[in-house]
Amino acid sequence: MPILPNATEEKDIHPAHPPVVPIPQDPFIPTRRLQRLVNAFPGGQFLRYLCVGVFNTIFGYATFALTLFLLNRAVPTRYLYLTVVAASVLSTPLNITVAYFGYKFFVFKTRGNYLFEWFKCFGVYGVGMLPGLFALSSLTGLIQHYIHATSSTGKPLAGYIAGAITTAFSTIFSFIGHKKVTFATKP
């Protein structure tokens, strides 16, 4: 009569008698929302994205601010809620192109497909830009109301503050969009 192993011996794997079905070395870990979020932002890639993003943010905000400064000299302050939108639209093509090359060469490190990826980059930014433009205009009006409502020197400052706030929110959206769309690798 064969000797039945007790409960502790069943869990042990004996090299002399390997199991018929291989046991996986890594235990199955169910993917939860937090784990999916962590997987969406790989450490090295996201860190490189943030470094390139710091440059892109400074460059993009500088071109936005310069364009807004030039428009503010030509357009009355009472139209600032529209001027910020025009400054954003006018500075965006250059900003997207500079960002595209930074992401392509330093973050996602893809090869070839320059024109197709560049168009996809515009698509990702375009999708994110539409809600941002509405938020930019509304936020400018709100900040303009609360900052020196009677002072003409404080009102133009609202456009710069609103531009900085909307830039911060667009960073996370654009990373996910570029990772999943612009520079997505084929399976």
The mean-pLDDT minimum among 21-30, 44-53, 94-103, 164-173 falls in 21-30
The domain segmentation of the chain, as residue ranges, is 44-182
| Predicted TM-score (pTM) of this structure | 0.59
Q: How far apart are CA 119 and CA 77, in angstroms?
A: 35
Render pLDDT for 106-132 as a digit per residue (tens, 0 to 9).
Answer: 888 888 889 999 999 999 888 877 788
